[in-house]
Amino acid sequence: MRSELAWGAECAWPASRRSRCLPWRSLALALALIGALQFGHGAWIQAKAWLAQALIARAWDRTLQGERQVRPWPWADTWPVARLTVPALGIERYVLSGADGSALAFGPGHLQGTPAPGDAGNSVVGGHRDTHLAFLRDLLAGQRIEVERADGRRVVYRVVEVAVLDKRDVWVAKQEGPTRLTLVTCFPFDALRAGGPQRYVVFAFELENRGGERGMRG
Amino acid sequence: MHSDSPVRHRRAIALDMLGFVARATAVALAAAAVLVAAVLLLAGRAEAAESEPGALLLHTLDGRELPKAPLLSTDVSFRVSGMVARARVVQVFQNASADWVEGVYVFPLPESAAVDRLRMLVGEREIEGEIQERETARRTYQAARDGGRRAALMDQERPNIFTTRVANIGPQESISVELEYQQTLRYDDGRYSLRFPMVVGPRYIPGFVRTSAPEQLGWSPNTDQVPDAARITPPVLRPEAGLINPVSLRIALDAGVQIEEVASAYHPVTVAAPSVSRREITLAAGTTPANRDFELAWTLQRTQAPQVAWFTEEKAGRHYGVLMVLPPAPAPGARLAREVVFVLDTSGSMAGASIRQAKDALQLALARLAPGDAFNVIEFNSAAQALHPRAVPVNPGSVRRAIDWVQSLQARGGTEMASALVLALDGSDEAKRVRQVVFLTDGSVGNEQALFHLIRERLGDTRLFTIGIGSAPNSHFMTKAAELGRGTFTYIGRIEEVQDKMTALFAKLESPVLKGLEVIWPEGARAESWPARLPDLYAGEPVVVAAALDRLEGSVRVRGTRAGRLWEAQVPLAQSTGSAGMGSLWARGKVEGLMDSIRNGTPEDMVRAEVINLATAHNLVTRYTSFVAVDKTPVRVSDAQLKLAAVPTNLPEGWDYGKVFGELPQGATDSRFALLSGSILLLLALAMLRRRTA
């Protein structure tokens, strides 16, 4: 009798039809439940990321009309500081203040301590490679990134270089050198898990005028 | 079988079912674990595969690639007799490249080391180093370097940080620098200890950046608060690149009397015992990477342990000596109510093992407080923050709350120590209270002098006790801060030490202090002893002074008071043990006294002149004097380029690189992993259900 209690064997004890193979079914249901929770968790991260951008778009409109630090929802601890577009890829993203985990869940975040996008110096923006900054892998040297600032001014940048670096390469945030936008996300793009040591970094220099473009590569 | 009743049959079935459920659950969990592990492994692989190239390249923090530095290895041997140690440190600079190289190595030595000899070894030849004024030595060295001759230079940056530079190391060639120093051992609570630091932990550099010097060797630029920051911040190798700078170590210990126990706290050692009073100690592994302090401690057989030691040396008609007298243990007095302020360093350098040690120690100290005492806790990193605006009475609730708060703290950010000292030292002076500040830190700061000033200014009636945490604490900061704070210092380098070290500290905090210590030398000896003013002594600590005198006649008297009772000891000067190197120790003690006098307002120019005289006479490396050794014949032709390279150092053991040097924001979520593993589990469940119902 005991030897028949193995995977694939018929349930051997006498029991009613309804409760037949109860352990097997409850096991399957438990797996289904865990699977659903896990799937839901992943879906929720993605849904949150994209729904939030819609709410942030409204906050950005109010920002352009002169309000400051407009929180997209009442309990938010971040607010949009710039709108970033890549015409070649049809991308539009709202950049939030702060590049910590709580802001990055809802949009790319501007690293505190670096100048706001559009200001002189090196503005650093971080974001998730599997949500808002997934487009970085398609971004090529020479392409334009446009930034709309809270004061309505528009600044155009041109991608000059992309690099795979280590998370401790904090020199990418240093201020010396030309005015630029530095976009940071995790690498590799297809990795399943978060927390890897590598970073994909896009360096885009400010285009001052058309004459300046000729000096650039591409 | 046939006689089985239906009841028993049903029971057997029930048991079987239970067994099956248990097994099925186990198998399911195992299957789930295997699946998750497989997914994790695949995900991990994807990242690991990409992270290989470039990992071994060394960069400065601003991304410049560094030239190939010479490989460095160190061989240390100690001769310990009684209470003094003589160390010989050989640094081998091996140039593995095809270029001519100039190597620069920033390294620590004990804060009390009197470095009195340097030789440059090239093959079989030995070139004796010479003490010159720092600036002169630099020019001598540069002239030799530019002229293609081999040369070595050794500067002191802090009492515990030194730099050696070696010029014109030929391709595939090596040059060694051998230095020797003299040191008194630490004696505390019946234990002698010998400490040898191996790495300068990355220091926090406060202040605004000044324009950097053209030759930038450190990872930090100079700032207004730390004008020599670049000189004390050698490049740090990322931990995944491996451990470098091997050190081999040998100690010949001759205690003079029977040794009871010898132990190395942080490194496994092999101990041989040629006789009851002698030991020979080597590292069990042969070498160890220079990434944490070495400490050897030993106790003597109780009945034979001397209460007095007097070592002397005669040099140029003058006698130099070191005197140690151990006062009797204090009688347990009435316990006085205390106000204790704990200060915890929660900066990035404390992340990892250090903060765990510090939290454990602090928790122990909090639990030890007695009703009637008052306490407060302050934490600091980029800013300081107190748990309570002022000290609160000790009761189970307040202690519980403090412990919970301490547990919740995280180590990250800068080390703005000044703000914590300002909070902790209130500067007031009240006769009747006992106020103690217990400061837990690794002391990883570059602005020690400014902090010492602050302690001196604001101490009042408070006593400051430093606890050096972690694998590479800044010993200069620990000892000097405790000295200026009229307290004591303790080191905790491993979590297993917390209990013992803290218990010893509590004994000091709670028993009466030996005050008003005086050393009275006989008339006519023209004695000059250092330190000029003796510190108060806590339970278990000896009086240690270094003296220079004309003759060894009569007796020296040592006296002080403890809990209102006078204690006095007499030592006949003629009963001395001869020991080389006492002159260096005395001169080193005097140099320290002179340097400290700058803090009390003596003009630095006066001090400098006196220190240079003293150091030249006694062949000492100081802040103002350096060793330089120059070979006579040029070896490098002028058209062969010389490449300057800083020797990288290890990150101290237990430290977290990212927490010290910062990290870029994390740019990913686990959403894909969650979606994938969720889908796999759902599909699996579906397959199982279909199979059953089919």
Chain B (317-356) residues lying within 8 Å, Cβ to Cβ, of chain A: none
Higher pLDDT, B279 or B64: B279
What is the mean pLDDT of the segment spanning B533-543? 90
- Residue A171 is classified by DSSP as G
Interface of B with A in 62-81 (CB under 8 A): 62-63
* Contact (CB<8Å) B667/A171: no
Q: Do B43 and A192 touch (CB under 8 A)?
A: yes
Q: Under DSSP, is residue B31 helix (H, G, I), strand (E, B) or coil?
A: helix
**Among B165, B148, B231, residue whose Cα is nearest residue B642:** B148
Distance from CA of A148 to the nearest CA of B (A): 23
Residues of B whose CB is below 8 A from A168: 238, 657-658, 661-664
Within 8 A of A36 by CB-CB distance, chain B residues are: 678, 682
**Percentage with pLDDT > 90 across chain B:** 60
Query: How confident is the model at residue B370, as a pLDDT?
Result: 87
Q: Measured between beta carbons, which residues in chain B are less than 8 angstroms from residue A104?
A: 665-667
Smallest CA–CA distance, residue A65 to chain B, in Å, is: 31
User: For domain B71-302+624-643, is the CATH number 3.40.630?
Assistant: no
For chain A, say whether B43 makes contact (Cβ under 8 Å). yes
- Answer yes or no: do A45 and B674 touch at CB < 8 A: yes
A197 touching B (Cβ < 8 Å): yes
H or E stretch covering B486 = none
Residue B668: pLDDT band (50, 70, 90) is confident
Instruction: Summarize pLDDT for A56-112 with one digit per residue, the tens.
Output: 999 999 999 888 888 898 888 889 999 999 999 999 999 998 877 778 889 999 987
Express each pLDDT in B612-627 by its tens digit: 999 999 999 999 999 9
B-chain CB neighbours of A1 within 8 Å are 16
Please indicate whether, in this complex, the C-beta atoms of B27 and A7 are within 8 angstroms of each other.
Answer: yes
Is 80 exceeded by the pLDDT of residue A135?
yes
- Which residue's entry shows tokens 């944490």? B292
Smallest CA–CA separation between B691 and chain A, in Å? 10
Q: Collect all residues of chain B within an 8 Å Cβ-Cβ radius of residue A126.
A: 664-667
Confidence grade of residue B58 (pLDDT, cut at 50, 70, 90): very low
Q: Is B20 on the interface with A (CB under 8 A)?
A: yes
Tell me which chain A residues have a C-beta less than 8 angstroms from the C-beta of B673: 42, 192-194
Average pLDDT, chain B: 87
pLDDT for B305 beyond 90: no
Whole-number pLDDT of residue A8: 38
Residues of B in contact with A166 (CB under 8 A): 51, 238
Range scoring the smallest mean pLDDT among B35-44, B97-106, B351-360: B35-44
ipTM of model: 0.78
C-beta atoms of B674 and A38 within 8 A: yes
* DSSP codes of every residue in B500-562: HHHHHHHHHHHS--EEEEEEEPPTTS--EEESSSPPPB-TTPPEEEEEEES---SEEEEEEEE
A192 to B684: CB separation less than 8 angstroms, yes or no: no
Q: What is the pLDDT of residue B65?
A: 55
CA distance B670 to B415: 33
* Architecture of the domain spanning B338-510: 3-Layer(aba) Sandwich (3.40)
Contact across the interface for A172 and B672, Cβ inside 8 Å: no
Residue type, B73: S
Does B668 sit within 8 Å of A128, measured CB to CB? yes
Tell me the pairing of strands B130-133 and B374-380: unpaired
CB contact under 8 A, A42 and B674: yes
pLDDT in tens, B558-583: 999 988 889 999 999 998 888 889 99
| CA distance linking residue B240 with residue B219, whole number of Å | 19
Domains in chain A, ordered, with CATH? 41-215 (2.40.260.10)
Q: Is B672 on the interface with A (CB under 8 A)?
A: yes
Question: What pLDDT shows up at residue B34?
Answer: 64
The CATH 3.40.50.410 domain(s) of chain B lie at 338-510
* Partner A, chain B 230-249, Cβ-Cβ below 8 Å: 238
Contacts of A24 in chain B (CB under 8 A): 24, 688, 692
A54 interfaces chain B, CB cutoff of 8 Å: no
Which of chain B's residues have a Cβ under 8 Å away from the Cβ of A38?
674-675, 677-678, 681
Of chain A, the end-to-end C-alpha distance in Å amounts to 77
B-facing residues of A in 12-31 (CB < 8 A) are 13-14, 21, 23-25, 27-31
pLDDT per residue as tens digits for the range B118-148: 999 998 899 999 999 999 999 999 999 999 9
Contact A43 B675 (CB under 8 A): yes
Interface test with A, best of B657, B664, B686 (most A CBs within 10 A): B664
Residues 638-667 of chain B with CB under 8 A from chain A are: 657-658, 661-667
Burial class (CB in 10 A: 0-12, 13-18, 19+), A160: middle
B669/A194 touch (CB, cutoff 8 Å), yes or no? yes
Higher pLDDT, B43 or B379: B379
The Cα of A122 is separated from the nearest Cα of chain B by a number of Å equal to: 14
Give the span between the Cα atoms of B595 and B272, in whole angstroms: 41
What is the least distance, in Å, from the CA of A205 to any CA of chain B? 18
Higher per-residue pLDDT: B534 or A177: B534
Alpha-carbon torsion (B374, B379, B380, B386), positive or negative: negative
**Is the CB of residue B503 less than 8 Å away from at least one CB of chain A?**
no
The segment(s) of chain B belonging to CATH 2.60.40 are 71-302+624-643
Q: Do B678 and A38 touch (CB under 8 A)?
A: yes
Name which residue leads in pLDDT, B62 or B214.
B214
pTM of the model: 0.77
Per-residue confidence (pLDDT) for residue B692, from 0 to 100 = 61
CB proximity B27 to A under 8 Å? yes
Residues 6+ positions from B13 with CB-CB distance below 8 Å? A13, A14
- Residue A133 touches partner B, C-beta closer than 8 Å: yes
**How buried is B179 (Cβ within 10 angstroms: 0-12 exposed, 13-18 middle, 19+ buried)?**
buried
Residues 69-88 of A with CB under 8 A from B: none
Residue B78 contacts residue B86 (beta carbons within 8 Å) = yes
| Contact state of A38 with B686 under an 8 Å Cβ cutoff | no
Residue among B476, B414, B485, B487 nearest B449 (CA): B476
| Under 8 Å between Cβ of B620 and B112 | no
Say what the pLDDT of residue B207 is: 82
